[in-house]
Amino acid sequence: MLNIHKHVDEKSLAPTDTTISKADYKKHYDKPVRGYVVISDQDGTVLETPNLVLLSGREFLAQKLADMSGLALQPASDKDLTNFKVRYFGVGIGGADSAEQPNKVGPFDNDLDLRISGKFADVTMDTEETLNYNQRYQYLHNGILKKIQSDQGNIEVIKEDHSIVVDGVEVPIQAYTTVKYTMNIRANELYKEPQEQGPFAFNEAALYAVEYADKISGGVTYNVPAMTEAGTEPSRYVANYRTFARFTCLTKWLEERDSLRIEWYILV
């Protein structure tokens, strides 16, 4: 799989798709927190598309920034979001219609999840009992959410070039104001039911904030997905989560041999 170096400039960022409408441009980029996504396969870049940091994601950011719990309306909740972390992602098949001339469906500010989630793998706690707690929880919710930092995925804060005007003189300044999530989908990874036929119709993806808590094992403290109200160890695999950001694209058919890399930039 090819490595991609992509320069990100918040001040001059513009979509490369010349067919994008002004309204669509404003919907995605005229936001206090925004970004874009580069999707690559084994042969190089497939497409570049804007993402949308959802209202549910912005409520999460507000509590994190204030370091105070509060009410949330997307979805309605009094849940403390300060212990949530953006550590998982998901993909789906509900981001485009099947018309003769296909169109993307969304994303919309009040989206609460993917429209039709895919499934990465069929896993249970039994398959991970020999792993330490840093290696567990690669998949949550029966394989629908995948850990970003697995299969050489990564989360990093990277530099961005800014330009400011001081006394009429343009001054270039660099600052660490971009978060980059690198996520890998292995060939043969996307799970299919036995009765399903054909490739996976990838056309949407989401970043998820999952509730985390400390777990002490063998005298070592691990920060892992939190138990739900059930209060049992298996409940960590169905940890509380909310959708942070979503993008949609025209359908990319993934055959069994196809792998995919998603590089997701959040500009702040």
Q: What is the pLDDT of residue 169?
A: 87
Say which range, 108-122, 189-203, 215-229, has the weakest mean pLDDT: 189-203
Structural domain boundaries of the chain?
22-259
Q: What is the pLDDT of residue 235?
A: 92
Average pLDDT, the chain: 84
| CB atoms inside a 10 Å sphere around CB 60 | 24
Mean pLDDT over 201-208 rounds to 96
DSSP 96: B
The pLDDT tens digits for 89-138 are 999 999 998 887 889 999 999 999 999 999 998 776 666 777 788 888 99
Mean pLDDT over 17-36 rounds to 55
Output the CA–CA distances (angstroms, integers) from residue 153 to 96, 115, 219, in the order listed: 26, 24, 28
Indicate whether 11 pLDDT > 90.
Answer: no
Indicate whether 180 pLDDT > 90.
Answer: yes
Residue 162 in contact with residue 10, Cβ under 8 Å? yes
CA terminus-to-terminus distance, the chain: 29
User: Phi and psi for 93 in degrees, rounded to 5?
Assistant: -125, 15
Residue 204 in contact with residue 251, Cβ under 8 Å? no
What is the model's pTM? 0.84
DSSP 83: T
Our separate counts of H helices and E strands in the chain read: 2, 14
Q: What is the pLDDT of residue 30?
A: 52
Residue 209 in contact with residue 57, Cβ under 8 Å? yes
